[in-house]
Amino acid sequence: MFLSNSLGHFYYFRLEMKFLIKLTILISCLISFTLVKAEATDSLDVINEEYKTILFNDQQFLDVLFYKHFNNMLMNNLGTYGSPYYYPTNYLVDNQSTVFAPEALKEKLLSLSGYRPFTNLTWINAGRREQLLSINHIQKFGKLADLSISYKRISSPGNYINQEVNHNDLKSAFNFKTNNNQYAAKIYFDMLRINNQENGGLNDINDFYKDSILRRELYKVNNYKSHYETRTLNFGLKQRLSLFSIYEDTTITKRYFVGLENKVSSTRREYFDFDSNSKIYDTTYFDTTFTQWKDSTHLNTFFNKVSFGITTSNFEAEPYVSFQDNKYHQYLGIDTSFSSNYVGVLLSYKKRQFKVAADFNYGTNGYNQEDINANIAATFVKQDKFVVKFLLNHQLNEPDVYYKSFASNHFRWENDSLVKQQITFIGSEFYINAVDVKLTMNAKIYNHFIYYDTLALPAQQNKQETTSTLMVEKGYKLWNVHFKTALIYQLTSDRYILPLPNLAGRQIIYYENRLFKKALKVRVGFNITYASKFYGYEFMPSISQFYAQNKTKIGDYPFVDFFVSTHLKRAQIFIKWEHINAGMMDYSYLTTPTTPFLDRSFKFGVSWNMFD
């Protein structure tokens, strides 16, 4: 059995190495091609300065160091980076996919004229605790085409038994347009593969509180042989064709176009479990007559959208109709097909420092009939003085089939009485550049909110619930010492089904100086993150869902990181002792009521920007 597993791991390792070698060769060829074509002109020098302005800033330096944070909050995941997680805030974001490849950065770089490519290589090594490799490449082929590729690999065996995570995440897109924008197309392909073990938390968390067992791998866990595999594939083509244009003095003032988007998506999740005696299954369905304990869901989606629009120098309107066909399958449950049709409109307006974008759609028939999705985002930038942002999101959606009917070897439920869930998010952000202060306010209103109750079963809250967040963030410096302080205050109408820490804070302090004739920038400092006590979610491995619990509070613990970071030209090299205070105070650092955060961990990292 050990030999079989070893050969299996070696086989997958060879496949991944072949893939990385091919990807590296591709990027090298693209860089070489571009360098041959590139010319050292004054305009390119200006572009390089713009690149430096975008890439070399303190915010990027902090984002690379503290990739487990979002909006100053530390993620709550199952010990190792790459395992299931949530942020105890109003924001619902996938920070693990976007870290080291932020969309805003990509859009800024693609908006620049010029022919030079950009590549970022980030590697973080924490020994057996964590391995992370990220490759991002952006390539412009003249003014008419560009290519972006992002690949990330996460690997960690974890501290405890059966805690290993393995992620492979690939995103790619190719954009092309003809002269004068008569035709434009985007081809994209995304692939996410996850193979994670799930131990269901520690069998007795009191052993951890007392630190009664010295070696982490000797702690008893709830599941010794469970793991799940997830694969998501997305392939799509977006096209736009100009039908005719209106000219005024040889300048196009209006353009009428037709758009077409086609996408194929496939998601498969399979969970395997060989530990039927685990106490976490005491309140769930479990048929011990099965020789293989397995849960699985499969969803294949075909999406088509047709639009007709008008665009001017500062305004664009694009009405559309979309059609979506779904085929859904459960291992022991339903096998069904259903479709949904929508009508909607995309709107955007941009003038000087102000821009606004909106997307509204309505379900006309099918499974999602009478669904409503609306999103409005507005930004006003006053040169280098201040930035104001506003966001409104409203969703009225039919519950997924998964919530209504599910059958597996671990869980069974039928919820025919579920009604549409309505969630409204209102957020604003105000940043003053001169004093480096950012104020963030947001609120969420939930009607008929769907959540997982204390038995890890889907439930719907009949009364209205609300959550809100207020954050003040301030940056300042004294001589060569830099400070960044964030205070967060949060309110929730239900501390069990929508658990949030009322108070949270973060303090970053670092000393910065330049050495060797100012060629090397050095930063040495600390990061401290804190959240008050709250009823954090518990986790059910077989369905990979966090669920409400009302017995154990987590939090009221400061996490301290120490780091030394250097910038040498385009490379950031750092060492970091993450959670350096582990065990110095007490052993109450939990991410769920049964899962501890990682202990002290030494990390070495390199993030290298290449753009010529």
Place 39 in a pLDDT band, splitting at 50, 70 and 90: very low
Does 479 have pLDDT greater than 50? yes
Does 135 have pLDDT greater than 60? yes
Mean per-residue pLDDT, 521-525: 94
CB-CB neighbours of 500 under 10 Å: 23
Dihedral sign for Cα atoms in the order 534, 535, 540, 545: negative
Does 33 have pLDDT greater than 50? no
pLDDT digits (tens, 9 = 90+) for 329-359: 998 888 999 999 999 999 999 998 999 999 9
Mean per-residue pLDDT, 573-585: 93
Place 13 in a pLDDT band, splitting at 50, 70 and 90: very low
CB-CB neighbours of 162 under 10 Å: 20
Place 53 in a pLDDT band, splitting at 50, 70 and 90: low
- What pLDDT score was predicted for residue 283? 74
- What pLDDT score was predicted for residue 410? 84
Alpha carbon distances (Å) from 13 to 4, 10, 16, 168, 170: 14, 5, 5, 12, 17
Q: Which of 22-36, 163-177, 406-420, 467-481 is the least confident region?
A: 22-36
Tell me the pLDDT of the chain averaged across its residues. Answer: 87
In SS3 terms, 418-469 reads as CCCEEEEEEEEEEEECCCCEEEEEEEEEEECCEEECCCCCEEECCCCEEEEE
**Collapsing DSSP states into helix, strand and coil, what is residue 217?**
helix
Within the chain, how many helices (H) and strands (E) appear? 7, 34
DSSP state of 41: -
Token readout for 312 is 């001017």
Does 98 have pLDDT greater than 90? no
User: In percent, how much of the chain has pLDDT > 90?
Assistant: 64
| Residue-wise DSSP of 391-417 | EEEEEEEPPPHHHHEEE-SS-EEE-TT
CA angle centred on 469, ends 90 and 104, rounded to 5°: 60
β-strand partners of 154: 132, 167
pTM: 0.87
Token readout for 67 is 């990739």
Does 437 have pLDDT greater than 80? yes
Does 20 have pLDDT greater than 60? no
Mean per-residue pLDDT, 438-442: 96
Mean per-residue pLDDT, 195-211: 92
β-strand partners of 422: 396, 447
* CB 222, CB 204: distance < 8 Å: no
Distance CA 52, CA 56 (A): 5
Radius of gyration over alpha carbons of the chain, in Å? 26
* Closest of 201, 204, 227 to residue 591, by C-alpha: 201
Place 36 in a pLDDT band, splitting at 50, 70 and 90: very low
Distance CA 449, CA 397 (A): 11
Q: Where are the strands (E) in 198-277, listed by range?
A: 227-248, 251-273
Q: How far is CA 70 from the centre of its chain?
A: 10
Does 107 have pLDDT greater than 80? no
* CB 167, CB 157: distance < 8 Å: no
Q: Which of 121-125, 200-204, 212-216, 508-512 is the least confident region?
A: 212-216
Does 585 have pLDDT greater than 90? no
Q: How far is CA 413 from the centre of its chain?
A: 30
Dihedral sign for Cα atoms in the order 395, 401, 402, 403: positive
* CB 559, CB 582: distance < 8 Å: no
Does 11 have pLDDT greater than 80? no
- What pLDDT score was predicted for residue 390? 96
Distance CA 290, CA 274 (A): 10
Does 396 have pLDDT greater than 80? yes
β-strand partners of 231: 193, 268
Q: How far is CA 173 from the centre of its chain?
A: 18
Measure CA of the first residue to CA of the last residue in the chain; give whole Å. Answer: 50
pLDDT digits (tens, 9 = 90+) for 224-260: 888 999 999 999 999 999 998 887 766 667 899 999 9
* CB 296, CB 271: distance < 8 Å: yes
Residue 198 exposed, middle or buried by CB count within 10 Å (0-12, 13-18, 19+): buried
* Closest of 268, 260, 261, 259 to residue 311, by C-alpha: 259
